[in-house]
Amino acid sequence: MAGIYLHIPFCKQRCIYCDFYFVTGQRLHPTFVQALCTEIEYYGQLYGRLEPIETIYFGGGTPSRLSLEEVARVLNELYRYFDLSALQEVTFEVNPEDASRDYLSGLHSLGINRLSIGVQSFYEADLRFMNRAHTAEQAEAAIENARRAGFENFNVDLIFGLPDQPLEYWMANLQKVADRDIPHVSTYSLTIEPRTVLYKQVERGLVQPADEETYRACYDFAMEYLEARGYEHYEISNFARPGYQSRHNHTYWRHGNYLGFGPSAHSFWWGQLPEPGAYRWANVRNLRRYEALLAQHHLPLEFREGLSYDQLAEEYLYLRLRTAEGLDLDHYAERYGVDLLSERLDELAELEAEGLIEPIRNGKLRLSRKGRHVCDAIVARLL
């Protein structure tokens, strides 16, 4: 079973922390939708019958900048070229400023069965700082509208560690999630990426980033608070009510195949067809170039590379340790040729003594709560 990701690169305005690929100020996008459909057709002819598609994810950018007609056209194209007979989950990212009840009802009637709402915070001061395009009131209304439109499965994104954000705001954000019985929440720490407005503000000394201790306190609080209220902490950044974990993300974390369409989208395919081996590729991060390449019957590729077993093993370790399920050591040895129990026994013992991993049970390697703070460092020690 494979997944499909669609990158819709339009945003109303620029959030100060964002380093995703997007453009602002465009309301009509017929040339983009045409290019996207051309790309779907091309890959559909090569990959469309190799594996049934289990999940589709509209991400961005802001997919909710598309009209319902444009969404319908893209979905029709996917139905035309891919095997969607086993489709389980179709997620659509919406920003609160677009989340009217009519729009969400329209998405629901098109077969979208999961929303991811870009709330980030329920507090006006946080939203203004981040230059989000919505208000706190719109964030609350989006959740109401999602339910009224028939969505029982939806996520909200929240960001913690904003400069000068009182810890109480973060606690209150999580309380709103639990009080409203929101089935899934993704929590992200505010990171300062190069080429963002925030990066320049920090460089000029206009903004003082939160310190390590604040990040740690926010994350610890989220784990304790949400788990005590029945949420499963099933991946480092993700919490869900039982039965509401994201299937699409599980495809990434189990090294499943996925195709990404749209500018800057990434793909991964490992199999015998259309050619043997594992490959990763990414599209160009430029809308005009993406459209022009497809119009000239070229693939809009930025790069494409074959992956060695060493690269696959490293990536898989990183992906599995992020999950609460953890790494199945037998499977790792069989499929990736790395037997951690015999090759890295000393390091495993040290990590356990430091409280960074759980004692190994049923052949599974899992991070402890403490270890979730430093997943990357643990992977580096094991490799």
Sequence letter at residue 106: G
Would you say 287 or 365 has its CB closer to ligand SF4? 287
Tokens for 154, please give them: 């939806």
Would you say 38 or 95 has its CB closer to ligand SF4? 95
CB 22 → ligand SF4: shortest distance, Å? 5
| The binder of ligand SF4 chosen from 61, 256, 326, 371 (CB under 6 A) | 61
Helix (H) or strand (E) holding 193: none
Would you say 95 or 323 has its CB closer to ligand SF4? 95
What distance in Å separates the CA atoms of residue 81 and residue 235, rounded to the nearest whole number?
32
CA 221 to chain centre: 22
CB 10 → ligand SF4: shortest distance, Å? 8
Size of the site for ligand SF4 (CB under 6 A): 11
- Rounded to 10°, the helix 375-382/309-321 angle is 140
CB 18 → ligand SF4: shortest distance, Å? 3
CB 216 → ligand SF4: shortest distance, Å? 24
Q: Which long-range contacts (CB under 8 A, 24 or more apart) does 210-216 make?
A: 210/161, 210/162, 210/163, 210/165, 214/161, 214/167, 215/160, 215/161, 215/189, 216/373
CB 1 → ligand SF4: shortest distance, Å? 28
Would you say 103 or 318 has its CB closer to ligand SF4? 103
Q: Which residues ranging from 6 to 25 are in contact with ligand SF4 (CB under 6 A)?
A: 11, 14-15, 18, 20, 22
* CA dihedral for 279, 52, 78, 316, sign (positive or negative): negative
Would you say 60 or 263 has its CB closer to ligand SF4? 60
What is the length of the chain?
A: 383
What is the per-residue burial (b if ≥16 Cβ within 10 Å, else e) of 302-317?
Answer: beeeebeeeebbbbbb
CB 60 → ligand SF4: shortest distance, Å? 5
Would you say 94 or 313 has its CB closer to ligand SF4? 94
CB 45 → ligand SF4: shortest distance, Å? 30
Would you say 22 or 81 has its CB closer to ligand SF4? 22
CB 283 → ligand SF4: shortest distance, Å? 16
Q: Which residues ranging from 77 to 116 are in contact with ligand SF4 (CB under 6 A)?
A: 95
Q: What is the dihedral of CA 332, 334, 335, 337, to 10 degrees?
A: 80
Could you tell me where the beta strands, DSSP code E, fall in the chain?
2-8, 10-11, 23-24, 53-60, 89-94, 114-120, 154-160, 184-189, 232-235, 238-240, 258-261, 266-271, 277-283, 301-306, 327-328, 364-365
Q: Which stretch binds ligand SF4 (CB under 6 A): 59-67, 138-146, 230-238, 370-378?
A: 59-67
| The binder of ligand SF4 chosen from 60, 183, 263, 326 (CB under 6 A) | 60
Q: Which residues ranging from 137 to 196 are in contact with ligand SF4 (CB under 6 A)?
A: none
Helix (H) or strand (E) holding 166: none
Would you say 21 or 332 has its CB closer to ligand SF4? 21
**Interface residues with ligand SF4 (CB under 6 A)?**
11, 14-15, 18, 20, 22, 60-62, 95, 118
